[in-house]
Structure 1
Amino acid sequence: MIKTLLDGLSKILGPIATLSKDRRELKDSALRVISNALDETFLYYRDINNSGQRNLEREALLSKYWSAAAIPMRHFDEQLSNICEHKSEYWVNPDNYDDNDIEQLGIRLDDVRQAYRKMLSPKFSIAGKDTYTKAEKQQAHKNAYERWSTEDDEKLELLFCEGKTVKELSAIFARNEGAIESRIKKLELREKYDR
């Protein structure tokens, strides 16, 4: 009976897990295309600096690279997709753009690279809450999302036994109070010490 139940759950949850994996793979693919466009653009600028001459064929290719980057990105970040499309339009005829246009469109190469890097950062979210990166979370709590060591667990147990509050433990371990509560629960410290 349990096997039947587990098989049923696998049939239901399998496609959900596959969708999540497929979405990650699509995002990775979209990011690879942007990375390629960025790299080719940087290489082109390097070559211009070395030779002093523009290459219209390469500029046409850059337009295609950026257009190709815009298409899959629209599923993940509309703003970055629009920036890629503007980069594509820019490379059709760069002479039509001045520094002010480039700034207003947000298509400076450093700005695009920064947006790309932001997309590379893994995101964590809680239902109904804002999304944030691990680095952002670690600004408030240095050890956020880091593994608990055996020494940490032992120290937590000792301090818990001494009567430290969750708030105090949060400060000591540089983790948020939710992480402390979760670890206390995982280690069954409340049950073990009747607290």
Structure 2
Amino acid sequence: MAALKRGPQEGYVLLLTLITLLVLLFGILFTMRGTLLQTEMTGNTIQRQKDVQAGDLALRQVQQALIATVQGAGSPLDVAASGQPWFYTPTVTSSTLASTVPGAAGPYSNFWTNCSANNQCAPLSSMVSALNPAPPAINDASGQPYQVLISVWPTNQPTNPYACGTTGFTASYYAVFLHITEASGSTAINTQSVIKLCTT
């Protein structure tokens, strides 16, 4: 019986097989990384949409609180909310324009970090606690309450005696800024709106 001869070709086949397996492993790792990243980004996008919806609910509660504040005092919000931590009148200078918003680049880039200590914003719960009945807390999907900070600023729009119809009231306009953070703190969103209040 003749002995089998092994040629140098068998080493090349083994090397080619190992390289192919290594390329396949890198391909699988790359695909898994992309899938995991896309899943995480989709989850964050969905959570940010929920944050926006929570912001809409918070804005409705802020609107009710502002109307109650104005009606309770019988005066414009500038007077009725004087001394409230959520009402802030920014100083307009050449470097701080009236259109500057909190959280944006510029002089108010760290606004939401420092506003509570500077009496420029307040939590939603402290603002709406005086409403009767007090609205329920805005909770995320896990039942944890959102952290909502509010800052109300006067706008540079002039009052309008005709915007409230024939009621005899004058319309004043205020900017409402909200900073909504979910309980875990992984996503947050800033929203802004302008509200019209009709006062004497």
Same fold, TM-score > 0.5, yes or no: no
- Answer 1 or 2: which has greater helix percent: 1
Which TM-score applies when normalising by structure 1? Answer: 0.29
Please give the TM-score of this superposition, normalised by the length of structure 2: 0.29
Query: Whose strand fraction is larger, Structure 1's or Structure 2's?
Result: 2
Larger radius of gyration: 2
